Structure formats: structure tokens, C-alpha cells
Amino acid sequence: MTGREEGFGSEGVPCFAHLLALSDEHGVFEHALFDVPRRDHGYCVDDVARALVVLLREPEPAPALLRLTDTCLRFLEDAVDVDGRVHNRMAAGGGWTDETALGDWWGRAVRALGAAAVHASTEQTRDRALTAFHRGASARSPHGRAMAFATLGAADVLAADPEDLSARALVLDGISSIATPPDGDWYWPESRLRYANAALPEALLAGGRATDNPRAVARGLSMLRFLVDVETNRGHLSVTGTGGRGPAQRSAQFDQQPIEAAAIADACARAFDLSGEPSWRASVASAWSWFTGDNDAATAMFDPRSGAGFDGLEVDGRNENRGAESTLAALSTYQQARRLGVLELVRA
């Protein structure tokens, strides 16, 4: 099967057609009815931040992607208030509809702004992103996932500039916010797996590397090994369902969300970069295989015509809606599989 038949470019370039269809001059629409954007539902920082990270990863972005990159950055700049708190929801056509706060969207905004501060294509854009990053990084969230997301952005900034005190402080606080798992079979800092689980060990890996903390890195690797083991069923990835997973729940769960597979891919790709262990590369391949149909419902989770991701894996198939979160999860996972050279392993 060729890359184009899989819905992605023959030269390894992912198809962004659906993401572009979900976007306008203001941002990325959150939801879709099948493949049609639900404009009345507006935009959210969560998805715009995810989009910015994905767009920044493309080595040779087309002009339309460069325009969308700037749109996403402007959206996030406007979302971050002077006290570091962040709006999440904007109505179609513009205008925030919520108060600023410190939920997951704060963490995702800080994560994306940190990535842009390092990886954006021009110095002016990097400076803009760094200014907004510093505003966001002045705050702290009481929510563990939000702190993990923000730690990833701060680790990017700190790795590029070890003298950035704001980034260092956020990384240290992010590492300390993740409890050390208890000894025993359930090597996880929470009593149940919840959502975006792999972001926790990835934050330890990124933060530990940026602060030269081998204990944090080792803890992150151990947590990630545990997570991959729990979320592997009969040789394929079987991520935690929307209801969460406890120690006694090892069978397949539904609905499974694409962001879970994408989080696994990101964390395992980072683990491979740090350790060089082939098993992490194989886990990235498993995450992409989840999208191509090697999953608990034997169902492809992306649209081969446009690169869109489907909104959930169900016991008898999939949710046919193709929202931004799911589409970006598919694109992100493809990017990691491409970077580590495991696409051919999946196709074989």
C-alpha cells in the first residue's frame, strides 16, 4: 500500500485537506458532523494549540499551512491574559465566550507557545511566541494534566535556553506535580488511568532531560513501560476508554479516543530519542497501526481521502464524525511514525 493510498502524500507528507477545511481566518473549528465543520460550535484553545504543534513539525510546510500556523499563534496570543490565565472558547467569527482559567487548555497553550518559541520559522514569530509563553508560564494550574502539558512547552524553551528562569521554574514545578507511583503492580501516580495518560511520563522525560534530572527520566520511562503494557492487548494497542481504567480492568474498553494513541506515540518517540531502545520505536509503530485498523474493533480510524481522524473507536466500529482533536491526533501520530521511520513497518 502506498502512502497516497493510505491518505497521505507519496513522499511522506501528511494530507492536511481536512484540517484546512476545519479552519478559517480565526482558528480551527472544534467539531464536525461527519466531515462538515460545525461552525456554530466555534473554536477552542485545546485544538488550536494541538494544531500549532502539528504544523510546526512539518519541515517544508505549504503556504496554506504557514498561514494557518500564523492564525493559530495569533489565536493563542490573544487567549493568554496578562496574569497567565487563558480563555478556551471563541465563537465563530471571533469573540471569547468564557472567562480565563487554568484548565487543560492553559497547559496546551503553554505547550504550543513553548514549541513555537523554539521551532517557528522566523525570529519575529519565535519572539512573539516566547512573549506569550512567558505570560502563560507565570501561572500554575491545580490540574495534573494541565501541568504536564505546560511542562512539555517549558522543557522546549529551557532546552533551547538554559538561562530562561521562567521556563526552568515551570519545569521544576511540573516534575514535582507528578507523584511517584507506589511500589507494586500498579506503577501509576493515580488510582485509575484517565485521559491523555502518556502526557504524564512524557513530561517527566522532557522535564528530566531539560533539567539534567536522571531520576525523573528513569521514573518517566518506568511509568511509560507500565502504560504501554497495560494498553497492549493481543499484540496491538488497546487504549483506555472514556470511562477510565483501574488495576483490575485489563480487557478492551470503549469508546477509545484517538488522543490516547497520539499521546502514546509522542511519549514513546521521546523515550526512543532519549534511550535509543528499539521497543519504543516499535510502540510508535503500534500507535500508528491503531489508526490504520490494528485495534480492538479492526477499524481504520482515519479517512483515506483527506487525512481526517474519526472521533472514537467503538465496539462495533467508529464514530463517523471527524473533529479537530481526532484529525490532529492522526496527523501527529503519522508525523512521529514518519520521523522514526516505522511507516513501512506498519504497511508490511
User: Do residues 234 and 250 lie in contact, with contact meaning Cβ atoms separated by under 8 Å?
Assistant: no
In angstroms, the first-to-last Cα distance of the chain is 8
Last residue of a domain, one of 110, 145, 177: 177
Pair 119, 97 in one domain: yes
Q: What pLDDT, on a 0 to 100 scale, did the predictor assign at position 9?
A: 53
Cα torsion at 160, 163, 165, 169 (round to 10°)? 60
Q: Give how many domains the chain has, as a whole number.
A: 2
**Kind and range of the H or E run holding 44:** strand 43-44
pLDDT above 50: residue 3: no
Pair 66, 163 in one domain: yes
β-pair partners for 29: 43
Cis peptide before 183 (omega within 30 of 0): no
Pair 170, 190 in one domain: no
Q: What pLDDT, on a 0 to 100 scale, did the predictor assign at position 348?
A: 40
Question: Collapsing DSSP states into helix, strand and coil, what is residue 314?
Answer: strand
pLDDT tens, position by position, 231-282: 999 999 999 999 999 998 888 999 999 999 999 999 999 999 999 999 999 9
* Mean pLDDT confidence for 59-82: 97
Closest CA to 151 of 218, 209, 203: 203
pLDDT tens, position by position, 303-326: 978 999 999 999 999 999 999 999
In a domain, 32, yes or no: no
Q: What pLDDT, on a 0 to 100 scale, did the predictor assign at position 305?
A: 84
Last residue of a domain, one of 177, 192, 215: 177
Pair 149, 245 in one domain: no
pLDDT above 70: residue 81: yes
Last residue of a domain, one of 177, 207, 227: 177
In which band, very low, low, confident or very high, does the pLDDT at 346 lie, cut at 50, 70 and 90?
A: low
Task: Look up the CATH number of the domain holding residue 348.
Answer: 1.50.10.10
In a domain, 123, yes or no: yes
pLDDT tens, position by position, 97-126: 999 999 999 999 999 999 999 999 999 999
Domain holding 159, by residue range, is: 42-177
Cα 252 from Cα 232, distance rounded (Å): 9
pTM, two decimal places: 0.95
Cα 51 from Cα 20, distance rounded (Å): 10
pLDDT tens, position by position, 159-181: 999 999 999 999 999 999 999 99
Pair 343, 197 in one domain: yes
pLDDT above 50: residue 4: no
β-pair partners for 44: 89
pLDDT above 80: residue 2: no
In a domain, 35, yes or no: no
| Mean pLDDT rounded to a whole number for the chain | 95
Pair 153, 185 in one domain: no
Please report where in the chains the cell 492536511 appears, as a residue. Answer: 16
Q: What pLDDT, on a 0 to 100 scale, did the predictor assign at position 7?
A: 44
Pair 95, 182 in one domain: no
